[in-house]
Amino acid sequence: MIRMLAKGSQYLNGVLVIDKPAGMSSAGVVAVVKRLTGAARVGHAGTLDPFATGVLIVCINQATRLARFWLHGVKTYAARLCLGVETDTQDVTGTVVATGFTGDISESGIQAAMTSFVGITEQLPPIFSALKHQGVPLYKLARKGIPVQKPPRCVEIYRLNIQEITLPYVRFEVTCSSGTYIRTLCTDIGRKLGCGAHLQELRRIASSRFTLADAITLSELETQVEDGNIDSRLIGMAESLPDMSCFQADKSLTDKLKYGMIITDTDIPAAVMTAESSFLKVLDDSNRLLSVLCYEPLSQRYTYCCSFA
């Protein structure tokens, strides 16, 4: 039973990286964090399937407005696939729908099949997924016997390294674009090998800039709350965007941001922007995040993405 709330919970603004346990949905983790911290608003940036574990970015209060900057970030997973068995959900939670012979599959063949998926490829989203059809999640329709197949979409596998082969199991690490389904990748690998496959284990070890080194478990979070020490694990909003261009506002600019006034390159020189991003974080004299702006070269103005001034 959770009995304590974080002191000053209404002032908690930032990111908690949670090491999601198996058997809990991402929404379930958000609910626990909300009860523990007493925060008014809590959300996550990137769903993990209930059976999966690892990095789940949880945004607290005002930081929920920053989730967009991590939702489409690069992800890295440690996974284990099982060759010779295909399931309807493409993972270990599903019902077996096909089996195949693995006795003649070589390690070099496995390596070649998996390497062939590196780069840009098309994936058919699984029918058991949180994607929606006419407002209804696909997995709910599939459970009712009404499977809906979404059209294929492009994803990118940046890196895929085999860690261990102990047939019928293959352990590997994969770094990929947002929206990539690792269970679909496993199924596609099995079909390429001609024996079928499904995902047995999945652990997200990095999401955007956040890794397992940043993460805490829910039990550790509870201890931090009870000790009044949650601030030690909360990543501040400005710190959570380390790769974004940065500008420190003076009083005049701070007042303009506070009232949502037009900001031009006379207020913030366009030269502060980096080529990698069109976004700019503006800090006050205490290095707190005031606003995230987007520069529009044609108008030489900045538009507001989100403002906390």
Same domain, 123 and 217: no
Q: pLDDT grade, residue 9 (50/70/90)?
A: low
Same domain, 99 and 180: yes
Q: What residue ranges in the chain does DSSP mark as E strands?
A: 14-20, 42-44, 53-60, 75-83, 85-87, 96-99, 119-123, 132-133, 136-137, 153-166, 169-176, 197-207, 210-211, 245-248, 263-264, 279-283, 289-296, 301-307
| 240 occurs within a structural domain | no
Same domain, 301 and 254: yes
DSSP β-ladder status, 279-283 and 289-296: antiparallel
Question: CA 168 → CA 80, 184, 189, 198, distances in Å?
Answer: 10, 17, 13, 11
Strand partners, 137: 132
Which CATH number is 276's domain given?
2.30.130.10
Same domain, 263 and 218: no
Same domain, 41 and 155: no
| 148 occurs within a structural domain | yes
Q: What is the pLDDT of residue 236?
A: 95
| 2 occurs within a structural domain | no
Task: Give the residue ranges of DSSP H helices in the chain.
Answer: 26-37, 68-71, 107-115, 138-143, 182-193, 218-226, 251-258
Q: pLDDT grade, residue 132 (50/70/90)?
A: confident
Write the pLDDT tens digit of every residue in 163-177.
999 999 999 999 999
Higher pLDDT, 98 or 10: 98
The upper half-sphere exposure of residue 81, i.e. CA atoms within 13 Å in the direction of its Cβ, equals 32
Same domain, 213 and 274: no
Q: pLDDT grade, residue 3 (50/70/90)?
A: very low
| 109 occurs within a structural domain | yes
| 35 occurs within a structural domain | yes
Residues near 215 by Cβ (< 8 Å), separated by ≥ 6? Answer: 17, 18, 19, 54, 55
Same domain, 132 and 162: yes
Which among 49, 91, 214, 284 is annotated as catalytic? 49
The C-alpha angle 291, 292, 295, rounded to 5 degrees, equals: 125
DSSP β-ladder status, 245-248 and 279-283: parallel
Q: What is the pLDDT of residue 2?
A: 40
| 7 occurs within a structural domain | no
Write the pLDDT tens digit of every residue in 227-278.
989 988 999 999 999 989 999 999 999 999 999 999 999 999 988 887 667 8
Write the pLDDT tens digit of every residue in 180-194.
999 999 999 999 999
Q: What is the pLDDT of residue 275?
A: 64
Residues near 231 by Cβ (< 8 Å), separated by ≥ 6? Answer: none
Counting the structural domains of the chain, the total is 3
Same domain, 153 and 52: no
Q: Establish whether 49 is a catalytic residue.
A: yes
Same domain, 123 and 271: no
> Does residue 1 surpass a pLDDT of 50?
no
What pTM did the predictor assign?
Answer: 0.90
> Does residue 28 surpass a pLDDT of 60?
yes
Q: Which domain holds residue 109?
A: 75-202
- Distance in angstroms (rounded) separating the CA atoms of residues 219 and 57: 16
Same domain, 62 and 158: no
| 161 occurs within a structural domain | yes
DSSP state of 79: E
Write the pLDDT tens digit of every residue in 73-85.
999 999 999 999 9
Which CATH number is 218's domain given?
3.30.2350.10
User: What are the b/e assignments for 211-231, b being 16+ CB within 10 Å?
Assistant: ebebbbebeebbebbeeeebe
Q: What is the pLDDT of residue 164?
A: 97
Same domain, 280 and 183: no
Same domain, 82 and 100: yes
114: number of Cβ within 10 Å: 23
| 17 occurs within a structural domain | yes
